[in-house]
Amino acid sequence: MIFPSRETERLLLTELQPDDEQSIFTLFSSPAVVEYYDLEAFCEQRQATNLISLFKARYEEKQGIRWAIRLKTTGQLIGTCGFNSWSSKMHNAVIGYDLLPEFWRQGYAFEAVHAIVNAGFSGALACGELHRIQADTVPGNDASELLLHKLGFKQEGLRRECGFWKNKFHDLKCFGLLRSEFAAIGQH
């Protein structure tokens, strides 16, 4: 199964490779990057190797997909994005994304996430054409919420203390976007 790469104005979205291990370690060892994640900051290189393997297996088993976000000019990996899970039967998916802090607030996350949302709604992925894409944020993750709103996602509710990581319970805000809403705001 050929991995579906994507290209935007400034970015290449490609399959993660074993030689991305150091870049993935740098990304996920940053406390700022994992502040709202359900994992601790990486402290060992093998954690990056394991994560790359997990993303590869998820794609091979047709359960989801994760792209490396690379600068088109240099090929540098600056983050990841993708569908953490999808259901062909239900025509829906859950999205996730992260970016190195030095690339925040420059439009890169919007550019990457827009591209994969468009791919999901257009039927260009192994999951088929999606009807709905969901995203969850931890209250306080204002930058992520702003990105979702900019893409047309609507906040649908708060799931109280539904997550448990880093030794405490977390509320999760649920955001949803329907294909018709994405098309209506001219996001294709």
Q: Is the dihedral of CA 57, 62, 63, 68 positive or negative?
A: positive
Give the residue carrying structure tokens 């290209």: 7
Q: What is the pLDDT of residue 146?
A: 96
Nearest 5°: the CA angle 172, 173, 179 is 130
Domains within the chain, CATH numbers bracketed: 6-184 (3.40.630.30)
Per-residue pLDDT of the chain (188 residues; tens, 9 = 90+): 789 999 999 999 999 999 999 999 999 999 999 998 888 999 999 999 999 999 999 999 999 999 999 999 999 999 999 999 999 999 999 999 999 999 999 999 999 999 999 999 998 888 889 999 999 999 999 999 999 999 999 999 999 998 888 889 989 999 999 999 987 766 54
Helix (H) or strand (E) holding 176: strand 168-178
pTM here is 0.94
Q: How far is CA 61 from CA 38, 66, 69, 127, in A?
A: 22, 13, 22, 11
Residue 172: CB partners within 8 Å, gap ≥ 6? 136, 137, 138, 158, 159, 162, 163
Q: How far is CA 19 from CA 15, 51, 131, 185, in A?
A: 11, 13, 35, 39
Q: What is the pLDDT of residue 152?
A: 95
Angle between helix 108-122 and 142-151 (nearest 10): 50
Q: What is the pLDDT of residue 187?
A: 57
Cβ–Cβ < 8 Å for 134, 174: yes
